[in-house]
Amino acid sequence: MTDPTPAHTAALTHWTLTLVCDDRPGIVHAVSGAVVAAQGNITESQQFSSADTNTFFMRLQVMAPVDRATFEDALEPVVQRYDARVQLDVVGRPLRTLVLVSKAGHCLNDLLYRQRGGQLPIEVPLVLSNHPDLQELASFYSVPFEHRPVTDAETKHDMEQRILEAVDELDIELVVLARYMQILSPGLCAALEGRAVNIHHSFLPGFKGANPYRQAHARGVKLIGATAHFVTSDLDEGPIIEQNVVRVDHTKDPAELVSIGQDEESRTLTQAVRWIAEDRVLLDGARTIIFK
Amino acid sequence: MTDPTPAHTAALTHWTLTLVCDDRPGIVHAVSGAVVAAQGNITESQQFSSADTNTFFMRLQVMAPVDRATFEDALEPVVQRYDARVQLDVVGRPLRTLVLVSKAGHCLNDLLYRQRGGQLPIEVPLVLSNHPDLQELASFYSVPFEHRPVTDAETKHDMEQRILEAVDELDIELVVLARYMQILSPGLCAALEGRAVNIHHSFLPGFKGANPYRQAHARGVKLIGATAHFVTSDLDEGPIIEQNVVRVDHTKDPAELVSIGQDEESRTLTQAVRWIAEDRVLLDGARTIIFK
Amino acid sequence: MTDPTPAHTAALTHWTLTLVCDDRPGIVHAVSGAVVAAQGNITESQQFSSADTNTFFMRLQVMAPVDRATFEDALEPVVQRYDARVQLDVVGRPLRTLVLVSKAGHCLNDLLYRQRGGQLPIEVPLVLSNHPDLQELASFYSVPFEHRPVTDAETKHDMEQRILEAVDELDIELVVLARYMQILSPGLCAALEGRAVNIHHSFLPGFKGANPYRQAHARGVKLIGATAHFVTSDLDEGPIIEQNVVRVDHTKDPAELVSIGQDEESRTLTQAVRWIAEDRVLLDGARTIIFK
Amino acid sequence: MTDPTPAHTAALTHWTLTLVCDDRPGIVHAVSGAVVAAQGNITESQQFSSADTNTFFMRLQVMAPVDRATFEDALEPVVQRYDARVQLDVVGRPLRTLVLVSKAGHCLNDLLYRQRGGQLPIEVPLVLSNHPDLQELASFYSVPFEHRPVTDAETKHDMEQRILEAVDELDIELVVLARYMQILSPGLCAALEGRAVNIHHSFLPGFKGANPYRQAHARGVKLIGATAHFVTSDLDEGPIIEQNVVRVDHTKDPAELVSIGQDEESRTLTQAVRWIAEDRVLLDGARTIIFK
């Protein structure tokens, strides 16, 4: 062959490749063959075979001098043969993220601060809130902020329509509920399945009902924490992405527990969003595979 | 000086003094006055005023050249004036401990290993079990072991009678349920209130029902742990003494989670028992004050 | 007595009382007597006897219906008898803090964010910098920012004069070097002794010379961290206040190590400043006593 | 099928395969092809491309119904083409380990306790010591113990000869310096390069000279720890395998710091030995790649 293929002419790109399929022998060989065909070099590789669902999960980072179409062509035989779901992304490309907030700013602040500092590959074209409180914070980071009061069924419906509209118009890939204190309707949960992440406090043992920090204080819990999870219609029961706890003792009153808990919420949510933005989170039934 | 008081003649002893009373001004001054009267030097001091219950808690370690009767005499005015519950103990005195077990040996092994190594100030005059499995482990550590099968209401009643009898005959100060897989009757719980400690696994979020490790695996939890608590009639809901968690990921199958969880159970229970044996655990309503 | 003493007329105030003196019997009794005289109630108490320097350290929180003069009068006999250094402060009073910065904003951001959120009892009347980069960040938090280039011996001298002047004019109690990339002169260090805190990265093992993160990467260290310490003329060798580390592995390049290290720097410095602002840090020779 | 290949006749074996070579495209494809040729199924896979040394590192676990010769034949083309160093091992095979000790038994105890409990895949045909103190401990675990006093240059030379001899005669794969308080000669270090691991305490910041725990106490360090590393002729400067720290405070005297530090030494050394025994540690210049 005398003339260079298109593969030779594209710029060297750092790709993320995730693949999910039924677990069968030979997959690694087939995928690595496709990488060779795309003149790629594997720079990072993780895989996992789930015995629960007989599913094979793989995440590669590949340095390759090809454009997307060429890489996809090289992968096509693998997709066909193994009936694999394959996703190609460019390393470092910012994930288009819609953030929903209410009054508490600790999670939004952490997301925007780290995004601006280059530590979190997201871009935030819009912050939507049912309260005006965080307008100023969003402005400081030059992020558009939209306030829509939610006071009854009708305004709640309007807000949910606006969320879906924004997801559509702004090419949103991830919706982050950064202490958004409204329960999403089942319809919205379904519409955003696998694309929305929530954060909530966590205790050992769990507490139901109002004011869990007060209950935690009354029981003298020694650990409080936070859980980031995908949103599903089953409230706070979606696949867990990340959890953290921190030690507390009897000297902390409920207000201090809230403050400590908020720190855990911020760092846990930011970590979860980072992993999603880096294509490190894959779903295996009701649980997540995290390729750190 | 021709008339040495009894205080001068006793050996220098390292005392632990705990005091609980309604919170009122002047307590610390009164207690430290009693310590001065007993020629004592305070080597460690902790206190806490619970706003929840308006109760004052104090733990001192005092080096004093007095015997128990003399120290108690010096404390008597404080006890009278503040209606205080005071407890005097000698630092390092082993706590007389009855251990209840079933089949799993990880907690018993940790308790006996650390007790023998001088890291845990307890003595174990008896291990009682509803299964014979841990006989050999107890023998290795030269601890008497008694097997009483529990198969129905009658044998369960017999076992509970035997527990109460042993507590009485052997001057037991603490009953440790070291993975004892029998639910105690409300009567026994009441009889042992504040003197019995239990350990169970803990998850974020909590799981109800059988085989929680399998549920935790299915939900992909990222943290598993253990909680040591006082026994009350409300199953697994007594005042929490200590909690620990450890990070896990999607690669762990349920059996591995069990193994990891058992390590947490062992170290958490041993820590709780150590604090109790060192008079560091005080009750404030439904929660514990831990003076580490 | 028919007329109320001044003690009765003052508002109920929550005081912090720290006391340092040679270790002798009876101090606790004497101090608690002074608290009783001031009609105070001890809400928090910590003490430590340093065997190294035969020094006794104590920190109390006292709720008392007295003004400063009355409390000081009550303490005077203790000060006299034990030759004690006593300091009285009001719980929650913001510490007047001067922050020095250069280009990196992670530490300043964390300080100001938590100060504004009510989690850090400081007030910052001025940020001084040898670079203009952080002007905008300071503005967002409505904190005055002053830029003074330091390019040679003369401008360095000017900057140091300005620091001393600001400390004086603005009643500064603490100077925080929040990644201020200039070595302070011995004279300035001496002038600020015990009142200035610095943060620097820390490794196991330590690395000397330029670009320690590159060295840490080359040696494949598994832990990187940060140390907050008081400023002394012996560069980076002052009494340590707080240290943290975080686990890293071979996949992190030097730039990522820098980013991870910065997170540790922020949280470690903020923690140290919080403890100082709450009067929890006392000096025992070359080391600190921290009453958490 | 009438002609079964040898591959079909061997028992199903769980292999560990590590591979190191210059980083070039196509390696993963070539290796996975060899695994397919050996009818193997990859159960665990890790890889890393070091930008520092342009080296590719890979570790696989492969379930394959082939004997060693057959697997090696399948791998031969990869070895040839990429000039790769390949190592095949059977998962769980105990590593033949020589332990060197002096007086302190905490590291030896932890190694032998975990080895006997099935948590550490090593076998210890000999413990060599320059002191007799740990004879009894070795006997309890039925491990041969040899005492050779080292008092001068000659006895030191004899000991080093004995070490080399033992390595040779006993097919030793790893030499563990479990608090062996003798500096190895450069010649011995060179002879054991990559096959000897040492443990030492670590502090933030580091301390030079005698009695580092006393220095750490005097400086009031807040973290103490331990580092396990390969032995090189540059004392305590070999490639780091594992590090741990634990939090301490001003109440700990130097003896307590030593005790706490020893716990870190034990668990850090045992962890490093476990990873080596499981073929998880590869050398990349002066640093280690750890495939956990």
The Cα–Cα gap between D115 and D95 comes to 11
Residue of C nearest to A251 (CA): C44
Cβ of residue A235 closer than 8 Å to a chain B Cβ: no
pLDDT-derived band at B244 (thresholds 50, 70, 90) equals very high
Task: Report whether pLDDT(B2) > 70.
Answer: no
Amino acid at A107: C
Look at residue A2 in the predicted model and tell me its pLDDT.
39
Q: Per-residue pLDDT tens for B192-206?
A: 999 999 999 888 766
Contacts of A244 in chain B (CB under 8 A): 223
Contact call for residues C83 and C22 (beta carbons, < 8 A) = yes
* Domain segments of chain D as ranges: 6-90, 95-290
Q: Which chains touch C (3 or more CB pairs under 8 A)?
A: A, B, D
Question: In whole numbers, what is the pLDDT of chain A averaged over residues?
Answer: 92
Tokens of B110: 């940790």
Cβ proximity of D144 and D117 under 8 Å: no
Closest alpha carbon to D35 in A32, A20, A38, A52: A32
Are B28 and C26 an interchain contact pair (Cβ–Cβ within 8 Å)? no
Q: What is the mean pLDDT of residues C84-104?
A: 97
What is A6-90's CATH number? 3.30.70.260
Locate A3 and state its tokens: 């003339």
The string of pLDDT tens digits covering residues D238-261 is 999 999 999 999 999 998 899 889
- The first and second tokens of residue D67, run together, are 């004997």
What integer is the mean pLDDT of A109-136? 95
Mean pLDDT in residue range D17-42: 95
Say if B46 is an interface residue toward chain C (CB within 8 Å): yes
Range ranked top by mean pLDDT from B25-29, B96-100, B262-266, C237-241: B96-100
Residue of C46, C139, C259 for testing the chain A interface, max A β-carbons within 10 Å? C259
CB A146, CB A118: distance < 8 Å: no
Give me the DSSP letters along B49-108: EETTTTEEEEEEEEEES--HHHHHHHHHHHHHHHT-EEEEEETTPPEEEEEEE-S--HHH
Neighbours of chain A (3+ CB pairs under 8 A): B, C, D
pLDDT band at D237 (very low <50, low <70, confident <90, very high): confident
Q: Does the distance separating the beta carbons of A47 and D42 come in below 8 Å?
A: yes
Structure tokens at C27: 């101090």
B234 — pLDDT class (breaks 50, 70, 90): confident
Q: Provide the pLDDT confidence category of residue B235 given band limits of 50, 70 and 90.
A: low
Calculate the average pLDDT of chain D: 92
B168-179 pLDDT, tens digit per residue, is: 999 999 999 999
Closest CA in chain B for residue C27 = B32
Judge whether D81 is closer than 8 Å to chain A, CB to CB. Answer: no
Token pair recorded at residue B243: 């909690």
Q: Name every chain C residue with its beta carbon within 8 A of the beta carbon of B23.
A: 41
The interface predicted TM-score of the complex, written ipTM, equals 0.88
Q: Cβ–Cβ of D242/C222 closer than 8 Å?
A: yes
Which of A224, A243, A283 should one mutate to test binding to chain B, selecting the residue with the greatest count of B CBs within 10 A?
A243
Residue A3 has pLDDT above 70, yes or no: no
Q: What confidence tens digit (pLDDT) does each residue in C185-230 have?
A: 999 999 999 999 999 988 866 666 778 888 889 889 999 999 999 9
Q: Check residue A155 and give its pLDDT.
A: 97
Per CATH, is A95-290 categorized as 3.40.50.300?
no
% of chain C residues with pLDDT over 90: 82
Interface subset of B 145-204, CB within 8 angstroms of A: 202-204
For D292, other C-beta atoms within 10 Å of its C-beta total: 8
Specify whether C236 is catalytic: yes
In percent, the amount of chain C with pLDDT more than 70 equals 95
Residues 21-40 of B with CB under 8 A from C: 23-26, 28-29, 32-33, 35-36
B217 near A CB under 8 A: yes
CB B95 within 8 A of CB B173: yes
Residue B39 CA to residue D142 CA, distance in Å, equals 53
What is the arithmetic mean of pLDDT over B97-112? 95
Inter-CA distances, C124 with A204, C114, C230, C277, Å: 38, 12, 19, 12
Which helix (H) or strand (E) element contains residue D18? strand D13-22
pLDDT given at position B195: 97
Whether residue C1 has pLDDT greater than 60 = no
Å between B25 CA and nearest CA of chain C: 5
Name chain C contacts of B32, Cβ cutoff 8 Å. Answer: 28-29, 32
pLDDT of residue A235: 65
* Span of B112-121, C127-136, C194-203 with lowest mean pLDDT: B112-121
Please give the Cα distance from C182 to C198 (Å, whole number): 11
C-alpha D267/C-alpha D242 separation (Å) is 10
Looking at every residue in chain B, the average pLDDT score rounds to: 92
State the nearest Cα–Cα gap between A237 and chain D, in angstroms: 30
Please tell me which residue in B22, B133, B236, B253 is annotated as part of the active site: B236
Q: pLDDT at residue A1 above 80?
A: no
B195 three-state secondary structure: coil
Does position D8 have pLDDT exceeding 60, yes or no? no
Query: A111 with A120: CB under 8 angstroms?
Result: yes
The residue from A236, A249, A253, A284 that is catalytic is: A236
